[in-house]
Structure 1
Amino acid sequence: MTVRLSIDEGVARLVLDRPAKLNALDAEMVNALGDRCREIERSDAGVVILSGAGKAFCAGGDIEAWADESPDAFGRHWVRDGHAVFDALARLRQPVIALLDGHALGGGLELAACADLRIAEAHIKVGQPETGLGIIPGWSGTQRVVQRFGAQVARRMSLFGEVFDAHAALQLGLVDTVVETGAGGDAADAMARAVLSRSPRATELAKMMINAADGEDRARVLEALAGTIAAGSDDLAEGLAAFREKRPPKFRKDDP
């Protein structure tokens, strides 16, 4: 299994497990990541820690997985499928912590950008090398990366090929904290415990509202919130009862 998921005491641990390929994503991994996101969304987990097995967090999209695709298939499937999965990760109701215990390059940085918090170990590097291969960052590297980190940082990586070490990434806002090599797991666990100590419902709602303000799936967020309020009202109970009893509903009128 190239994407492992375990859930224990409220913490979902999502691990990219293809170390021989530096956790480079192929179609199987992209699909598995989408499946794991659906499991997490419906689980009782209150926080997610995303990490990579071996020496890298994620080296991006596996070149061998897409190099022989036709232009149409590349755009319609590789890019769009990856986008859908990365969107699902970014829009999980639970806060997501990305543990960068290895390099995050190309699609790996785009994956890390889906998280709500990024912890970097001191030895890691981040960048977007795609234009050096004749392709563009395709999994929201020119969109979510710009929204979350700023256009100039994206320009420096994508247009000029700059690769940043952990401390430079911290100064630029690409990561939120830097810890010593080997200390990332403990730091991620401590942050997860901090999340779990807070109100689960308020945390979920706060993330939804922040995502909406940040342009992340605003329409769905607003409709989900409004739907939740409507579903908790007496009107829904009366409407369903009237439907089942085949009578006109008698909705209660609020006092002016």
Structure 2
Amino acid sequence: MTIRLKITDGIAHLTLARAEKLNALDTAMVHALSDRCREIEHSTARVVILAGEGKAFCAGGDIEAWAGESPQDFGRHWVRGGHAAFDALARLRQPVIAVLDGHALGGGLELAACADVRIAEKHIKIGQPETGLGIIPGWSGTQRATRRFGAQIVRRMAIFGEVFTADAACDLGFVDHVVDTGHGMAKALEMAQAVLARSPRATELTKMLINAADGEDRERVLEALAGALAAGSDDLAEGLSAFREKRPPKF
């Protein structure tokens, strides 16, 4: 299984496990990410830790997985499928902590951008090499990344090819914490415990509101919150009773 999920004591551990390919994402992994996110969404987990196995967090999209596709299939399946998976991760009701325990490049950087916070180990580097290959950062590398970190850092990576160290990425606001190599998971667990100590419902609602303010899933967030209010009202109880009893409701 190239994307593993383990839920323990309220923490969902989501691990990219294709170390021999530097955790580069192929089609199967993209679909698996969507599936794992659905599992997490409906689980008892209250916080998610995302990490990579081996030397890289994620080296991006596996070139061999998409290089042979027609332009139509590339856009229709590869780009759209990646967006669906990354959107599912970014829009989880649970906070997501990304542990950049290895380099995060291209699609790997876009994956890290889906998290609520990013912990980088000192040795890692981040960048967007896509334009050097003749392609664009296609999994919201120009959209979500720009919304969350500002256009200038994305310009420097995607247009000018700059690659940043962990410390530089932290100074620029892409990374939230820098730790010594090998200490990323310990920091993530510490932060996860801080989440677990807070109100689960208030945390979930706050994340939804922040996402909406950031332009992330605004329509669904607003309708979900309004729907929950309506579902808890006396009006709904009366409306359902009237429907079952085949009478006009008395609101």
TM range (shorter): over 0.9
CA deviation map 1:149-177 (0-9, x unaligned): 11010000001100000000000111000
- Name the residue aligned to 1:218: 218
Quick one: which amino acid aligns to residue 124 of structure 1?
Answer: I
Deviations 1:44-97 (A, max 9, x none): 100000000111000000000000000000001100110011011000000000
* Contiguous gaps of at least 5 residues in structure 1: 252-256
What SS class does the counterpart of residue 74 from structure 1 fall into?
helix
Counterpart in 2 of 1:66?
Answer: 66
Equivalent residues, number: 251
The TM-score normalised by the length of structure 2 is 0.99
For 1:242, give the aligned amino acid. A
Letter in structure 1 aligned against 2:107: G
The 3-state SS of whatever aligns with 1:93 is coil
Aligned-partner residue type, residue 149 of structure 1: F
Residue 230 (structure 1) aligned with residue 230 (structure 2)? yes
CA deviation string 1:131-153 (max 9, x = no partner): 00000000000000100111010
Q: Separation in 1 of the partners of 2:236 and 2:24?
A: 48
RMSD (Å), alpha carbons: 0.4
**In the aligned structure 1, how far is the partner of 2:231 from the partner of 2:26?**
40
Aligned partners of 1:242, 1:35: CA distance in 2, in Å?
39
SS in 2 for 1:175: coil
Question: What is aligned with 1:254?
Answer: none
Among the aligned pairs, what percent are the same residue? 78
| Structure-1 residue corresponding to 2:183 | 183
- Residue 108 of structure 2 corresponds to residue 108 of structure 1: yes
CA deviation vs aligned residue, 1:173-199 (integer Å, no higher than 9, x gap): 110000000111100000000001000
Cα-to-partner distance string for 1:114-135 (whole Å, 9 max, x where unaligned): 0000000000000000000000
Partner in structure 2 of residue 29 of structure 1: 29
Deviation of 1:250 (Å): 1.1
CA distance in 1, matches of 2:39, 2:242: 35
1:85 is matched by which residue type in structure 2?
Answer: A
Q: CA deviation at 1:237?
A: 1.0
Q: How far apart in 2 are the matches of 1:90 and 1:234?
A: 34
Counterpart residue type for residue 38 of structure 2:
R
Q: CA deviation at 1:234?
A: 1.0
Structure 2 counterparts to residues 1-256 of structure 1, below 5 A: 1-251=1-251
Unmatched runs of 5 consecutive residues or more in structure 2: none
TM-score (norm 1): 0.98
